[in-house]
Amino acid sequence: MRAHPGDYELVAPGTLPAVLSLLAQEPGGWLPIAGGTDVMVQYAAGELPARKLVSIWNLPELRRIEVLPNEIQIGAGCTYTDLREHEVVSREFALLPIAASWTGGIANQNRGTIGGNIVNASPAGDSLPALMAYEAELILVSIRGERRVPYTSFHIDYRKTRLAPAELVRAVCLERRFSEYQGYARKVGPRRAQAISKVCLAALARLGDGVVEDIRIAMGSVAPVPLRLRETERIVRGQRIDPPLVQLARRTAAAETRPIDDIRSTARYRAAVGGNLVAEFLGRLSAGKIKG
């Protein structure tokens, strides 16, 4: 059944402290709405349980990217277009603007936010593997103050996160230490544009004298939460990439995924493609065909 606007209340306090104070008055009672590109889909389908919405769209405190000497802090309210257009993000954290470029069409990229992608917590969220690979930290904020949590521990289970009621994601922090790394990202969907991922990959590696000194491989849509492939990383780290290692990594990655059958794909396909993407990444890495 379609929703009726008269059944909903929407307020826009306009500043972060005012939003936090409203959330604190009734924890869990108000649903934050940023770009609305996930919330409005639920609304239009008549599937939005929340009746009281508080707008956090364009709050100045959430819509800025701070470049500090050792890290950058991307406000949770930054859109995909903000990420694509930011010079430091594009130069030092290229996996993020690549993922942003896959996310819906231009209208969606002008409206959808990184914070919304994180808290919506779909395993298919396209920017989430990049955040895993960079080992981002999140700054969460409530009326009681701020806390920092590693992004790798933020997603607890399918669509369950560590965010407390009355808390917002304020910013995503990325350490500025990836200049020596080569990055690779790939989305596999039913078509190239406007498609939800069947599998998506974000990976980083640093080579020294042909040896893999460090490697981070993260995947979406292959488990209830975005997944770091720790076992695959372990067998590759410290090795030279050769065909037997690529085959071992392919099998290990496929075995490490925990996909399901759903309307978009099958578990078998997802595991096989996940393995193939890892093999593709390692093949290109050893051939010197990717950079930064």
Number of residues this chain uses to bind ligand FAD (CB under 6 A): 29
When asked if residue 131 is in the footprint of ligand FAD (CB under 6 A), the reply is no
Q: Which is nearer to ligand FAD, 126 or 280 (CB)?
A: 126
Which residue among 90, 101, 108, 276 contacts ligand FAD (CB under 6 A)?
108
Q: Which of 117, 221, 257, 286 binds ligand FAD (CB under 6 A)?
A: 117
Task: Pick between residue 190 and residue 238 the one whose CB is nearest to ligand FAD.
Answer: 190
Which pair of tokens denotes residue 145? 């103050």
267 binds ligand FAD (CB under 6 A): no
Is residue 61 a contact point for ligand FAD (CB under 6 A)? no
DSSP of 182-200: EEEEEEE-SSSSS---SEE
- Rounded Cα distance between 194 and 184, Å, is 21
Q: How many CA atoms lie within 13 A of 125 on its CB side?
A: 29
Query: Which one among 30, 93, 102, 154 touches ligand FAD, defined by CB under 6 A?
Result: 102
Q: Which is nearer to ligand FAD, 83 or 271 (CB)?
A: 83
Q: How far is the CB of 270 from ligand FAD (least distance, A)?
A: 16
Cα(150)–Cα(127) distance, rounded to whole angstroms?
Answer: 16
Q: Is 142 in the site for ligand FAD (CB under 6 A)?
A: no
Question: Cα(241)–Cα(250) distance, rounded to whole angstroms?
Answer: 12
Min. distance of Cβ 291 from ligand FAD in angstroms?
25
Instruction: Single out the residue of 20, 37, 100, 250 in contact with ligand FAD (rule: CB under 6 A).
Output: 37
Return the residue of 10, 11, 25, 41 that touches ligand FAD, per CB under 6 A: 41
Closest distance of CB 33 from ligand FAD, Å: 5
When asked if residue 78 is in the footprint of ligand FAD (CB under 6 A), the reply is: no
Where on the phi/psi map is residue 44: left (φ > 0), alpha (ψ -120 to 50), or beta?
alpha
Token representation of residue 90: 């594009």
81 makes contact with ligand FAD (CB under 6 A): no
Give the number of C-alpha atoms closer than 13 A to the C-alpha of residue 65, restricted to the C-beta side.
20
Give residues in contact with ligand FAD (CB under 6 A): 31-39, 41, 56, 76, 102-104, 108, 111-113, 115-117, 119-120, 125-126, 168-169, 196
